[in-house]
Structure 1
Amino acid sequence: MKLADMTLNLDDHRHTFELPQGSISYVDIGEGPVLLLGHSFLWDSDMWWPQIASLSQHYRCIVPDLWGHGLSTTLPKETQNLTDIAREYLLLMDNLNVEHFSVIGLSVGGMWGAELALLAPKRVKTLAMLGCFIGFEPEVSRNKYNQMLDTMSMLQHIPNEMVEQIAPLFFADNCQTQNPQLFDSFKSHLLNYPTESIESVERLGKMIFGRRDLMEDSDKLTLPCLIMNGTEDKPRPIIEGYLMHDAIDGSEFVHIADAGHISTLEQSQFVSQQLHNFLSKYLA
């Protein structure tokens, strides 16, 4: 999703990782300890551009687009769950000869990030999860989202009425008035979502909302963990952040005031500074 006021052209740093089942588009920029960043469902790597602009001054940032998002190809049939996605990103790290790295993920980016930390505990140095919950999706929200996904699949596009429902879920209540460009840009992105990617969105969405309960394995997340939540996050209410903080021993917890789900764009400077503070303690 292109943001009109971007000052960093991520396309100048874009590459493609070819797998037998498809190609993953990713941004690779900066030098230093490696950070693997994962974006939210229905967004793409551009969601991280303020943090990439800041963090890439000190770190190497690798930022892939999810299957069916951005410039990555459609979701392969072989990819059945978030553990498979974590394995695919581990292959990306192998292909780039990156042995050790940190993961920073928002929403589903944090979910597959936790899966990756469990898959490769000796390789993942730190884990930051923003607007994320690694437990089961609550039944009420899972049913609501699955109905939306079924409708998208049937229509082969995201209708305007649904866009009007979906867009406010991603932002703080005042976003429409305080940052109308961001809000309207996301609505336009949804309305013009490529038809060929709708099936991927449906399948990936159902993977996310039907994910396994990683809270049962939270005691195995012994690496440094940062949990951040927007105080107005609707899909991932702040109570879920507290539950994760309580379950992951030694984790740090940060509130993001006046932010909804996409805190990286709503409160970009605060988020970037908190990430710098966290990473500098462990990746010196």
Structure 2
Amino acid sequence: MPFVTVDGQALHYIDKGKGPAVLLAGSYLWDQAMWAPQIAALSQHYRVIALDLWGHGESGRMPECMTSLDDVARQALALLDHLHIDRVTLVGLSVGGMWGVRLALSAPQRLNGLVLMDTYVGVEPEPTRQYYFSLFKQIEDSGVISPQLLDIIVPIFFRPGIDPQSALYQDFRARLAALPADRLRQSIVPMGRITFGRDDLLPRLGELNPETTRLMCGDQDKPRPPSETKEMAELIGCPYVLVPEAGHISNLENPAFVTEALLRFLADRDPCSA
């Protein structure tokens, strides 16, 4: 499996297919495997890169120098440099969109396009931030995501009507339950605090290119509701689309819809500029 050393730690990624490059940036608590349906389809026409956040999947622990999501954007650029990729279309879901916007603002010359999914780059509402931080403290103290916390955390990621006995739901729950104490304390909890303690980028969204930016959101996303997507789309001046019958991980709850939307967006980008 391919790795690149960034800030002293091993960052895991996959690199599949040939053609214009697409970088898939996923959600907190999920690894690159969350993109499996999109990777299978997009890699038939594009070079698809997908990375694991620190402490997620096969990536190493979060580097001690990390203090903000700007660091993740810088580390992703280091990965692109390592792969000799000059320009990429970035598809960022949840925290992937939060740091993806930072990459777009810091290095706009590196992007052919930007798709932001189920994400929000304003500050976390204070009651929500305090609530999430209280969950992080419980996980840090115990070194485990307890069954009681799993009952709280897992449903956040899915639409209310999902079958809790479905493989998608149960596999995610099992992966969280199996996370070891050192990974939780060294990477997962610190990464969560960085994510939900982020600063406000809403005032800078007008700097993005509306012609090459698209927003998507599950129509039943609870942590990042469609109202946030609409707010950001208006600030950017770009279109947005709601993914039907989908919650926060919209690309897995309605993979066919999301994959088709991404293929249409990518087809609109000039492949000669990649």
TM-score range, shorter chain: over 0.9
CA distance in 2, matches of 1:158, 1:137: 22
Q: Residue 172 of structure 2 is aligned with which of 180, 186, 196?
A: 186
CA distance in 1, matches of 2:83, 2:14: 12
What does the per-residue CA deviation read over 1:107-152, in whole Å, with 9 as the maximum and x for residues that have no partner?
0001111000011111111100110001111111111111001110
| CA drift at 1:20 | 4.4
Q: What stretches of structure 1 move > 2 A for 4+ residues in a row?
A: none
CA distance in 2, matches of 1:34, 1:269: 21
- Aligned residue in 1 for 2:69: 82
Q: 8 Å contact 2:143–2:180 — kept in the other structure? A: no
Secondary structure of the residue aligned to 1:122 is helix
Stretches of structure 2 that go unaligned for 5 or more consecutive residues are none
Q: Residue 226 of structure 2 is aligned with which of 212, 224, 238?
A: 238
CA distance in 1, matches of 2:43, 2:205: 30
Q: 8 Å contact 1:33–1:283 — kept in the other structure? A: no
Q: 8 Å contact 2:16–2:49 — kept in the other structure? A: yes
CA distance in 1, matches of 2:239, 2:14: 28
Bigger mean CA offset, 195-204 vs 79-88: 195-204
2:83 pairs with 1:102: no
CA distance in 1, matches of 2:160, 2:228: 19
- Aligned residue in 2 for 1:65: 52
- Aligned residue in 1 for 2:150: 163
CA distance in 1, matches of 2:135, 2:264: 38
Q: For 1:40-59, what aligned pairs fall within 5 Å after superposition?
A: 40-59=27-46
Give the direction of change, closer, same or farther, for the CA distance of 1:20–1:203 in structure 2 (3 Å limit). closer
Bigger mean CA offset, 264-273 vs 215-224: 215-224
CA distance in 2, matches of 1:67, 1:103: 18
Q: 8 Å contact 1:21–1:78 — kept in the other structure? A: no
**Residue type at the aligned position of 2:77:** L
**Residue type at the aligned position of 1:55:** L
**Residue type at the aligned position of 2:38:** Q
**Residue type at the aligned position of 1:248:** I
Stretches of structure 1 that go unaligned for 5 or more consecutive residues are 1-13
CA distance in 1, matches of 2:95, 2:16: 22
Structure-2-length-normalised TM-score: 0.96
What does the per-residue CA deviation read over 1:148-195, in whole Å, with 9 as the maximum and x for residues that have no partner?
011100101111100011111100112125x71111111111111122
Between the two proteins, the alignment pairs up a number of residues equal to: 269
**Residue type at the aligned position of 1:40:** S
2:15 pairs with 1:25: no
Structure-1-length-normalised TM-score: 0.93
2:104 pairs with 1:117: yes
